[in-house]
Structures are given as C-alpha cells and as structure tokens.
Amino acid sequence: MCNSIRLCTKEHQCIKEYGSINGSAKSDVFPSLNCCRLVCGKFGPLWPRPTGRVDLGKNTTIINPSNIRFEQTWSNQTAEVKNIMNEIKKKFLLNLSQEFKHQTMLANSTPMELIIKIHTASDTTNINWTTDESYSLNVFLENITSVVAKIEANTVFGARHGCETLLQLFATVNEGNSTASLHMLSQAIIIDGPTYPHRGLLIDTARNYIPIKCLKRQLDAMAASKMNVFHWHITDTQSFPIQLDRVPEMVANGAYSDDAIYSSNDVRKIIRYAKYRGIRVIFELDAPAHAGNGWQWGPDKELGNLAVCVNQQPWRNFCIQPPCGQLNPVNPNLYTVLQDVYYDLVTLNKEETVFHMGGDEVFFGCWNSTEEIVRYLNNRGMGQNATDFLTLWSEFQNNVLRLWDNALYIVNQNRTDTSATNGKRVISPVILWSSRLTDPSVIEHFLSRERYVIQTWVSSANSVPQELQNLGYNIIVSTKDAWYLDHGFWGATTYYNWKKVYDNPLPKGNGILGGEVCVWTEFIDAYTLDNRIWPRAAAAGERLWSNPTTKSLEAESRFFRHRERLISRGIQTEAIAPQWCQQNQGQCH
C-alpha cells in the first residue's frame, strides 16, 4: 500500500504528502485525493459549478452501494415522466457502479443506507429555451443507519441535474487487500440552475460518418457536464447520410456506403437517448451552400438541377472547401423536394420545432458561373453584383422558411395529441449561421428578428455578436478561436486548451441564449472524436451553466476530477496535465 496522504491547504488545494503529516490538523488529512476534493474548497468536486447556494459539509460517511433506495413523488404522473425517471435512476446506479467497479467493499464495514427522495412539480417533458432546469439538493443524516438525499425540481430535467450533482458527492478510499469503502458527504445543501438555456455541442456527421454508438457516448458526456443541446450537423457537400422516407434519393446518392447511413430508427433512438439525458436534438440541414452530394439526381427525374457546381473543379473557383455544391434557388422543383425533406425531418423529431438552416459560406462565384441563375437575374433586371446575390439568397431564405412552417403545421395537424398546439400553426424560430446575409449592416433588411436566431462563429475580438444583440436579435455564441475544437489539427488553425475554452467570455445582457462548442470532422472520425471533444467541451459546459467571474485556475482541481468521471463512463478523453500535477494541485502553474 502506498504510504501517502492528502492535505487540504489553506489555499483550498489538495496536495500529496508522504510519511508524516508535518503537523497538519487531523481534520485536514484525507486518505485519498478524491476524499480530499470532496471537502476542500467551497465547491468541492462539483462540475459545473452551481449558480446558487452551496454549503458542503466537512464529514463523510460510508455508504453501501447495494443499499440505495429511490422514493419519488410528483404532482402529475404521466407515462413519459415515469419512463424518464426510471432511466434517471438506472443511469445513476450504473454511473456509480462504473466509477467504483473495481472496488470490493470491506467485509467488516457497516455502511449506511442511502435514500434518494425526488419530487418534481410539473409533468412537462419538453426541452426548450424556457424549460425550468433548476433543482435543489439537500443531503443529511436521517438517523444512525441512513443518509437522505432530497432532490426537488419543477421538471424531470431539473431532477436529472440534481441526481448528476449527487453522483459527484462520492469518493472511494482504498483500504488495502483489494478492498475499499465508498464515502459520501453526509451534509450538503445546493440550490442550482443554469445561467443560459442553450448549452450545446455541434457534431458534424457529414464529413466523416460517426456511428450511433459513438454519438451516444458524446451524449453521455454531455449529460455528465449538464449540456443540453446536441446540434446535429447531419449533412454537407461531402455526404447526405440520413434516410428520408419521402426522398429516398438523397441517401441513395449521398451516403458514403450502406454502412454509413442513419436510418429513421437510428435517428429516433438518438433523440430518445438524448431526451432521457436532458438533451434536445436540433437538426441542421445546411443550405443553400454546403449542399452537393445527395442532390445530383434532379436531371434523372426530370426535375432539373437541384444543386449546382456539385463536385466542380477547380474547386477554388466555386466554393470555400472541396467538394463544391450549392442549392439552385431559381429551380421551382428544388422547393418541392425541400418541402418533402422538411416534412420528414419534422416527423422524425416531432417535439422539436427549432431548426438550424445553416446559411454559412454561400459562394457567389458558384451562382455567378451558373447560366440559368445568371439568366434569371438578368430577366428581372438585376445584375451580378453582391447586392443582387444577397437579394436572391434572401428570397431563397423566405421560401424555405415558409416550407418549414408548412411542415410543422402539417405534422402537428396529423398528431393525435394536439394539446401542445391546439391545432394551431406553430411559429417557431429558426437558426442561421452568421454570414454576409446576417451582417449587422444589412440583416434588418433581409431577416426578421422575431423569426431568426443567429449563431455567430466569429473570433473573440469581433464585435458582430454584440452588434446583432444591440439590434434585438437572439444570439448563440460559437467563438471560433476558442470553441472550435477541431482547430489545431489542420491548416493554420490553433489548438485551444481547456483553459482557453473555459475563459472564453460571453456577451452580457438580453438576447444571449447561450453557446455551442463545435466539432467539424474533416480530420476527425469515430476513432478520434472522443479525445478531440473531451474534456474540453466540459469546460464550455461550466461557462454556459454558471458563467463564473473567476478564471480557469480556480476550476482546475474540479476539472481534473470531472475528467476522471468522464473516463469512468467510457469516454476516451485526452490528457490535460501530467498525473503529478493532478495530484499536486497548484504546483504546475
């Protein structure tokens, strides 16, 4: 057995000592690093940092992991509330067992029972920008044989976050001879809720196909970090891997292979898996640019060119990145096809009314080299300057917004449960990337602030987010020189460590819905996805949950501990420091 102990210093840092305790008070000495982290510092091992009251006790008690009991009460029990709560309980016990699976409890120990009492006040099971995700957690000794953890929340999603926080109040102590005891804080009061309602992770599954089992791992890691939006960039010029019932030609012409397709059943499984972890799935079908492979079949069906410049060379003349391809806004048949595409997407994700329409990197050189588009402009007395192409682009955008509204209306009319809409037409925001069309100097001419949310992907020094916010637009922030996690592995891009991710500030004031970290997969696939995302995305998770005024230095010990949690849940995270630095907090700065 290693002859070492851990001390909690006056600076609230856990450090490793060998042999003796050097005169330290007994209360400052702990048998394991994670036991020290439980009680050292105001926020102990919690990630993300809570936003409200945090009172963590200084004593632990030994818990019997096979004697954990749930008691649930709710104001209105529905079948789906019950299903989600059952999944929450199951994942709680699974995650606890995974973290301590190599430990054997001491035979002569007398661990206590843990009773988890959960109360939810609402039966809502929809996740959106107004969902109440707050919770309170109260841990106390009920008697000499049991500990109670009382979780109260308005929704099951708040209750889920409370259970996630409760999981962080455990630590293992090795007792020698392959035995261990499971310790838990015996007193804690935490009142918590997110600062931003949109705490997202974008994953591009078009450049390289990402299997379903790999996507589920990312959702597990998001749940551990209290992130609540999976932005699924599901198509691009390279591939169109999602199977659509009304338009089977898309996947037939756009998938890399029969093994690189998301079936309708696959998509529904991901949506359900995400929801039961407190995560909504927002589809992105990028348009009118980033649309090539999958759209080539129009001439064969006598529909004309649905897309132009597809795979055209030399690519630098027709797009930002190979292969090229942009939708053809002057072909009426394109809108007929898009109506079917949107209908299928709404049908797959019926509870989600928000849709990401892409809208980035439209390359006017492609449209300007396409005879039928140039002829269309000339026939309308328009030239070929930038303003004319912006007008054409905005007309496309108006058309597809109408198609999306139609799809929502049709699907909701056909639902057996119309209580949410009362049969009325749903008017929901759509999201666009920042672009020439959303530039603050022109956006008000083209795009309604009531309908469009702008996701900005500019650098931290760029004022566009604040300018759009000042114009009254709602904003989702994806700072490209801090939150683009694929950077540093290609071209002249720079790698951003977790501290850079953590310290990325968000604009203040109304209109900031939150943000997303983004993973574009030109140079990433299923074998490298985990460690390109994690644990760095979790650093953004705390920024979006609590937006702390302190910097990453204060969060370091908690971040080290959170990385261990992710590993225990099967996430292949990258290393962020030598192990010595993790065991000797504050001595590697």
Q: How far apart are CA 20 and CA 408, in angstroms?
A: 68
Token reading at 530: 């985990």
Q: Which of 523, 438, 515, 427 is nearest to 473 (CA)?
A: 438
Farthest CA pair distance, the chain: 90
Token reading at 452: 């469009």
Token reading at 335: 């809108």
Verify whether residue 236 is a known catalytic residue: yes
Query: Which H or E run contains 467?
Result: helix 464-470
Q: DSSP for 29-71, please give it.
A: EESSHHHHHHHSSTTTT-SSPPSS-EEE-S-EEEEEEEEEEEE
28, 87, 266, 361: the active-site residue: 361
220, 236, 284, 360: the active-site residue: 236
Among positive and negative, which fits the CA dihedral 533, 219, 234, 410?
Answer: negative
Q: Cis check for the bond before 288: say yes or no (omega within 30 of 0).
A: yes
Q: Report angle CA 171, 175, 181 to the nearest 5 degrees.
A: 40
Token reading at 159: 């209750």
Give the per-residue SS3 of 220-258.
HHHHHCCCCEEEEECCCCCCCCECCCCCCHHHHHHCCCC
Q: How far apart are CA 356 and CA 195, in angstroms?
A: 23
Residue with tokens 């338009």: 247
Q: How far apart are CA 557 and CA 348, in angstroms?
A: 41
Instruction: Decide if 318 contacts 370 (C-beta within 8 A).
Output: no
290, 356, 487, 562: the active-site residue: 290
Verify whether residue 266 is a known catalytic residue: no
Q: How far apart are CA 92 and CA 167, in angstroms?
A: 7
Residue 16 pairs with which residues in a beta bridge?
6
Q: How far apart are CA 567 and CA 530, in angstroms?
A: 10
Strand ranges of the sheet holding 29-30, from the earlier edge strand across to the other edge: 14-18, 4-8, 29-30
Helix (H, G, I), strand (E, B) or coil at 182: strand
Phi/psi for 569 (5° steps) reads -95, 15
Verify whether residue 589 is a known catalytic residue: no
Which residues are known catalytic residues?
236, 290, 361
